[in-house]
Amino acid sequence: MFGANFGAIRRLIRQNGLDNHGSFNWVKIADFELNIGIELQGLGLGMILVVTLIGFLVHLFSLGYMKEDAGKARYFSGLSLFMFSMTGIVFADNLAMMFIFWELVGVSSYLLIGHWYHKNTAAEAAKKAFLVNRIGDFGFMIGILLIWGSFGSVNFVEIEGLLRNGNYDEGLLNWSVFCIFCGAIGKSAQVPLHVWLPDAMEGPTPVSALIHAATMVAAGVFMLTKVLFLIEDAPTAASVIQYVGAITALIAALMATQQNDIKKILAYSTLSQLGYMIMAVGFAGLLSGGEALGEEASNAGFFHLYTHAFFKALLFLGSGAIIYACHHEQNIWKMGGLIGRMKVTSFTFLIATAALAGIYPLSGFYSKDAIMTIAANKPLLLVIGSFVAFLTAFYMTRLCVVVFFGRAKSWSAEEAKEVPFLMLVPLLVLTVGAIFAGQTFAYSWFVPSKDIPHPEGVVLPLILTAIAVAGIVAGFFLYRGRDQEPYPVQVLAKKFYLDEIYNILVILFQDAVAWVAKMIDRLIIDGLLVRGGARLVTEIGAVLRGMQSGNLQGYAFLFGVGVILVLYIINAAIG
Amino acid sequence: MTTAFIILLLPLFAVAANLLFLRKRANFSAYISTLSAAICLVLTLGLSDGLSDKTV
């Protein structure tokens, strides 16, 4: 019956004659027109499938995971609001509309991270995510205004057309792209605005899978692919994008190696993989043989976004199943031996881990290959990317060895049992995606296979496979049979002390601004403008008050002095 | 583009419906949201199929 209905819907859509663009006027002020428009082609098709597929699976998983939650209706409202906002970003045909939905995504993310708002940590994390994102969004807004100032339009197609005419200032374009990239830095949690994402794991785990792994954080990368034509003509900004991505990938991977919370390990892993994607898209502006890499680079970044959505959502939902089974325990050192108690979850989690590590023939292998092929244009970034690939395999193996193998390290792990079937269905569907998303038939309907860069020969894939295997072997032998972290590295466990540094900087900056505000208020506003007038009147009054003594002789004396003064002035004036 | 607009607006209707049932019938809210997500997915698959014939 479902199949018949689905077939009918498909026929209906085909018969109605699809178009890939449609819009209506929303605001018209003098020459400025703002449309609500929908544009759907190429990578947008892939993105909308990721959003609706992962979104539906997360809804399904949540039916089991949030079964006993008191705020279930509020939670599902938040999920639906997020779906609306995210589809709006994907469909947007202009920057202004994208920005509106961009902000709505921020709001729904805030609501979902703070779902358990009675927990102080969750409320703080929601606030942090909201505020940090606003910093990036402010840059995005400036970027949109610069684009509008330069081209007189915010519509993607119109801007591209005007850009091709060559009538623009390259310096201004670089600044515009950089400002727009600030939005991606915030939303895709790139250095230095990455600090909100690990804290956002305070939200329910299905939210982490949907928003903080597969879709919202990928919105930054998707947005960059939409403004690809700008990046191609802004080589300086493109270089910044490449290096910000590479640095994020490296720093996050290093931090992931020393985390003990299962969700935080996955959060840093997400940061690292987003760094990969951003780095690849940045190569769009790199000149290679006289031409910018353009679409080739952006397709590589998006391809990794596409495959990553499947295996990372699977990892997060898998971690949710583990946390659910272990009575909400999140510390990996209190787990262990779960492979015997949660066979299906363990199997799906291990498949996703192998895909993330880039093991042939899983999806991650192909997308990582595509990114490294692009990165090969800059040897330094290729080296960083390869090292990150090693670290990825290493920290994921560490996680799996500690969680699934060895003996149970707490009663919660001992009592763990497989989750209900309703929660297993999304895991199994995503496992299929994690295995096959990298195959041509799974992506060629939105981007032709020839448009995705593939390495020439077998040298690069072999090297990358060897790197991944080395990471797995190192992780396995270093953590096999361990009951606690055997090699503590404080600087990595404390995340390079970035949170502490930010706290100090925020306090210093806040104190400095407060001091300047206080001085302006006390000296200029209070001292001069408000109290200055009153004090002047008081002082003059005090002087004049001396004359009103009530002494008759004194008044006669002053009268005499006055008369003499007037006579003297008249005399002086006459002659 | 009607289908795309439906995909866009359906979750918003789910939010509105959820707000009506909030606290009263939590299970019903959950099913409405999940159903809207399922319909969006089905429409997307159809949309992707239809558009991919034209544009890719």
- Pick the residue with more confidence: A332 or A21? A332
For A488-498, write each residue's pLDDT tens digit: 999 999 999 99
Binary contact (B11, A83; C-beta < 8 A): yes
Once rounded to an integer, what is the mean pLDDT over residues A441-465? 86
Find where tokens 């976004």 sit: A305
**Cβ within 8 Å, pair B12-A81:** yes
Residue A357 φ/ψ region, left for φ over 0, alpha for ψ in the -120 to 50 degree band, beta for the rest: alpha
Asked if residue A555 has pLDDT above 80, the reply is yes
Note the pLDDT of residue A423. Answer: 92
Residue position matching structure tokens 């690939």: A389
Average pLDDT, integer, range A525-546: 87
DSSP for A350-395, written as a single string: HHHHHHHHT-TTSHHHHHHHHHHHHHTTSHHHHHHHHHHHHHHHHH
Phi, psi of A21 (to 5 degrees): -155, 140
Question: pLDDT class for A558, splitting at 50, 70, 90?
Answer: confident
| Residue of B2, B28, B48 to mutate when probing chain A, most A C-beta within 10 A | B48
User: B 14-53 residues with CB below 8 A of A?
Assistant: 14-15, 18-19, 21-23, 25-27, 29-30, 32-34, 36-38, 40-52
Q: Which of A84, A216, A95, A90 is nearest to B8 (CA)?
A: A84
pLDDT digits over A160-201, tens only? 999 888 878 889 999 999 999 999 999 999 989 999 999 999
Where does the pLDDT of residue B51 fall: very low under 50, low under 70, confident under 90, or very high at 90 and above?
low
Nearest to A37 by CA among A18, A27, A22, A26: A22
The residue behind tokens 């860069």 is: A453
Q: What count of other Cβ atoms lies within 10 Å of the Cβ of residue A226?
A: 23
Q: What is the mean pLDDT of residues A346-363?
A: 95
pLDDT, mean of residues A455-478? 92
Position A450 confidence tier, pLDDT thresholds 50, 70, 90: confident
Which residue is closest to B42 within chain A, CA to CA? A6
Determine what percent of chain A is predicted with pLDDT higher than 70: 95
CA distance A46 to chain B (A): 8
Average pLDDT value for residue range A349-362? 94
Distance set, CA A226 to CA A89, A180, A216, A307, A437 (Å): 10, 11, 15, 19, 22
Residue A549 neighbours by CB under 8 Å, 6+ apart: none
Shortest distance, CA B6 to any CA of chain A (angstroms): 10
Q: What residues of chain B lie within 8 A of the CB of A20, using their CB?
A: 51, 54-55
| Of A90 and B2, more confident | A90
Alpha-carbon gap, residue A388 to A385, rounded angstroms: 5
Whether A338 contacts A369, CB under 8 Å: no
Question: For position A261, what pLDDT does the model report?
Answer: 94
pLDDT band at B50 (very low <50, low <70, confident <90, very high): low
Residue of B nearest to A75 (CA): B30
A63 closest CB neighbour out of B19, B34, B47: B34
**Amino acid A23: pLDDT:** 76
Highest mean pLDDT among A433-437, A544-548, B15-19: A433-437
Question: Can you tell me whether residue A117 is helix, strand or coil?
Answer: coil
In this structure, what token pair is assigned to residue A375?
């990165």
Look at residue A410 and tell me whether its pLDDT is greater than 50. yes
Q: Is the model's pLDDT at A114 over the cut of 80? A: yes
**DSSP states of A424-462 as a string?**
HHHHHHHHHHHHHTTSHHHHTTTS-GGGS---SSSHHHH
Sort strands A291-292 and A21-29 into parallel, antiparallel or unpaired. unpaired
CB A180 within 8 A of CB A294: no
Task: Give the pLDDT band of residue A12 (cuts 50, 70, 90).
Answer: very low
What pLDDT score was predicted for residue A165? 85
Mean pLDDT of A257-267: 95
Q: Which residues neighbour A259 within 8 Å (Cβ) at sequence distance 6 or greater?
A: A265, A268, A493
A45 to chain B, any CB pair closer than 8 A? The answer is: yes
User: Which of A53-74 are b and which e, b meaning 16 or more Cβ less than 10 Å from the residue's Cβ?
Assistant: bbbbbbbbbbbbbbeebebbbb
Among all residues of chain A, which has the CA nearest to that of B17?
A77
Residue A290 has pLDDT above 80, yes or no: no
Q: Using the beta-carbon criterion (under 8 Å), do A84 and B50 form an inter-chain contact? A: no
Q: Are A268 and A256 in contact (CB under 8 A)?
A: yes
For chain A, positions 75-104, list CB contacts with chain B under 8 A: 76-77, 79-84, 87-88, 91
Q: Is the pLDDT of residue A17 over 50?
A: no
Mean of pLDDT values over A205-226: 90
How high does pLDDT run on average in chain A?
90
Lowest mean pLDDT among A35-49, A259-273, A494-508, B41-55: B41-55
Question: So what's the pLDDT on residue A141?
Answer: 96
The answer to whether A22 contacts B26, with C-beta atoms less than 8 Å apart, is: no
ipTM above 0.90, yes or no: yes
Using CA coordinates, name the residue in chain B closest to A72: B26
Q: Which residues of B touch A38 (CB under 8 A)?
A: 1, 4-5, 8
Q: In terms of CA atoms, which chain A residue is nearest residue B43?
A: A9
Which A residues 1-30 touch B at CB under 8 Å? 5-6, 9-10, 12-14, 16, 18-22
Confidence at A421, pLDDT banded by 50, 70, 90: very high
Contact A18, B50 (CB under 8 A): yes
Q: What is the pLDDT of residue A22?
A: 73
What sign results for the dihedral spanned by CA atoms A8, A12, A13, A14?
positive
What is the per-residue pLDDT for A9?
45
Distance separating alpha carbons of residues A84 and A105, to the nearest angstrom: 9
| Chain A nearest C-alpha distance from B20 (Å) | 10
Residues sharing a CB contact under 8 Å with residue A451, sequence separation 6 or more, in sequence order: A295, A296, A299
Instruction: Pick from B12, B21, B42, B44 the residue to mutate for testing the A interface (most A CBs within 10 Å).
Output: B44
Is the pLDDT confidence value at A454 over 90?
no
Cβ of B46 within 8 Å of Cβ of A60? The answer is no
Which of A19, A49, A62 lies at the smallest CB-CB distance from B48? A49
